[in-house]
A and B are shown apart, each in its own frame.
Chain A
Amino acid sequence: MVLTPDFDSRPVISFQHVWKRYPSGTEALRDINLVVPEGDFVFLVGPSGAGKSTLVRLLIREEKPTKGKIFVEGVELGRMKRRKLPYYRRKIGLVFQDFKLLPNLTVYENVAFALRVLGEPDRLVQSRAAEALDTVGLAGKEQTYPSNLSGGEQQRVAIARALVHAPRMIIADEPTGNLDPATAWEIMQLFLRINSRGATVVMATHNREIVDLLRRRVVAIDAGQIARDDRSGRYHDDVSKPQIRAQ
């Protein structure tokens, strides 16, 4: 079942004429306008270097836009004070291609880490971490170290960590990039389940099969611009890229 988000509802994310130029002079994004309503599932697709990662970096406030405004839940990220930033990050769950697990911590400790950082009490940490590991199907592997897990299992740990503080929004940058197709599909199922519980998901990906199969919203980025925004799109459109580039 495909849930259709309510596009009239309050937007969770809103990009308004956003430009990003790096100090090196590279213009990574040009005049991006994008609205993501609550509960949406958005694929960001496009060739390498198109600006997907820059968009993700702006969204988690690792970078600030050169021009334009980005609102998340009504707060303008560019104006957010540095000391407020940690509290903003606590509202989002992040998943990366390279998992970003801490190798010297066990599976349980890696997941619990996200709650310890928030200063949550032990009992809550334990129950929430166990719950999150159960959700991603890793119950029983708590005391294993990441190096003893497969790629898919490591990504599950990362997802459990992203989920454990119950964020309203999940941002994933190529979460299936290092995984074989079968495992990638399992991981995608997890994201769908998280989305069906109400969390907004924004995912940058190269995984054509999955995008084409799921038929969710697809925002195609090319040369720093939004080339296409389809409510239930495919990885490539038949109105092929050269024409879009020519605009």
Chain B
Amino acid sequence: MMMFRNLRFALNSAWQSFWRNLAVSLAAVLSITLILILAGVNLLVGHALSQVLDGFRDKVSVISINVADDTPLASVYSYQTQLSADPRVASVRFITKDEALANFAKDPNNAVLAQQLDGNPLDAKLEVRVRNLSDVASIDAVARQWSGVDPTNPTNYQGDFVRRMLQLSQWLGIAGVGLLAILVVVSVVIVMNTIRTAVYHRRKEIEVMKLVGATEWFVRGPFVIEGVMTGLIAASIALSLLVIAYPPAVAQFRSDIAFIPLSYDPTFLASLARDLLLGGALLGAVGSYIGVRRFVRL
């Protein structure tokens, strides 16, 4: 019962104080909004890049093992089964010589060349899709040991590209985390100072609260709730702006840099909303907690 009354008191006084010190409250909302927009853009760009990377990764995580013409079919099938059992392998597809030729001929770039071909010089192949991009090289090494492989041209995969892709995605991940960390530190400092200004305006009230025997949490509660409110309002504003700006930004990017397959992903918005609201509430709460600390200590 007493908890409930205290909570009601805290909610009431947080709400009142937000409106009473509107200028300071708005300054806090504005700074958190700006930070959350930056964080949101960071998340969106990160997500877009990882989408693009996933697209590439899908294409490069395939290695084809060329089968020598004299290999018996039974041996190919048994090797296919053996590969499928490997935990690193996602799937193995057998492409016969005829299919390989048909695929080759399908590409309009090869049309002229295909007509001039005598017989079928193409190998049959096992197309292995690995689960993890970094396993491509090890699968390649294994495949080269197989007796049925074409010794003149054993395997095909984009090795160098794979390595660079892995490096790039690693660096981008680190950069994104670093940027987020900096944003968090900067924003906590800003919020803390904004809230401290708000608290400074009300130090007399805090003094009276302490003199009549309010506990530290009783004094702190309203400020922390006010901080959470501020953070949630800021997060809502930032989120709305990002949701509005996201599709046209993607469209613009695609018309400018067509070769990077950036796409609009509405499902990501739900997780963005969750992150921003949670982040805003947390920033407000932590900022308030630290901001009010100096004044609350008995």
Contacts and interface: CB of A to CB of B under 8 A. Distances in A.
B1 A89 contact: no
B215 A116 contact: no
B214 A85 contact: no
A159 to B, nearest CB: 13
A87 B213 contact: yes
Contact of A60 (B2, B20, B211, B214): B211
Given A82-B298, A117-B218, A121-B1, A90 B212 contact: yes
B216 interface: yes
Interface string A164-198: 01000000000000000000000000000000000
Contacts of A90: 212-213
A117 B6 CA distance: 8
A119 B212 contact: no
A116 B213 contact: no
Interface residues of B, number: 22
A104 to B, nearest CB: 7
Given A119-B5, A121-B5, A100 B213 contact: no
A117 B213 contact: yes
Interface string A94-109: 1000001110100000
Contacts of B216: 83, 86
Contact of A100 (B1, B3, B204, B298): B204
Nearest to A115: B212
Among B6, B212, B216, max chain A CB count under 10 A is at B212
B2 A85 contact: no
Contacts of A120: 5
B212 A161 contact: yes
B191 to A, nearest CB: 24
B87 to A, nearest CB: 56
A89 B213 CA distance: 5
A174 to B, nearest CB: 15
A139 interface: no
Contacts of A89: 210-213
A59 B297 CA distance: 18
B209 interface: yes
A86 B204 CA distance: 17
A96 to B, nearest CB: 8
B212 A114 contact: yes
Contacts of A85: 298
A86 B215 contact: yes
A94 B1 contact: no
Contacts of B297: 82
Contacts of A83: 215-216
Contacts of B212: 89-90, 94, 113-114, 117, 161, 165
B205 interface: yes
A3 interface: no
A102 B298 contact: no
Interface hub of B1, B6, B214, B297 (most chain A Cβ within 10 A): B214
Interface of A: 60-61, 82-83, 85-90, 94, 100-102, 104, 113-114, 116-121, 161, 165
9 contacts: A82-B298, A83-B216, A86-B298, A89-B213, A100-B208, A118-B213, A119-B5, A121-B5, A165-B213
Which 5 A-B pairs give the minimum distances between C-beta atoms?
Answer: A90-B213, A89-B213, A119-B2, A117-B214, A114-B212
Given A85-B298, A102-B204, A165-B213, 20 more contacts: A60-B211, A82-B298, A86-B210, A86-B213, A87-B213, A88-B213, A94-B211, A101-B208, A104-B20, A113-B212, A114-B212, A116-B5, A117-B209, A117-B213, A117-B218, A118-B213, A119-B5, A119-B9, A121-B1, A165-B212
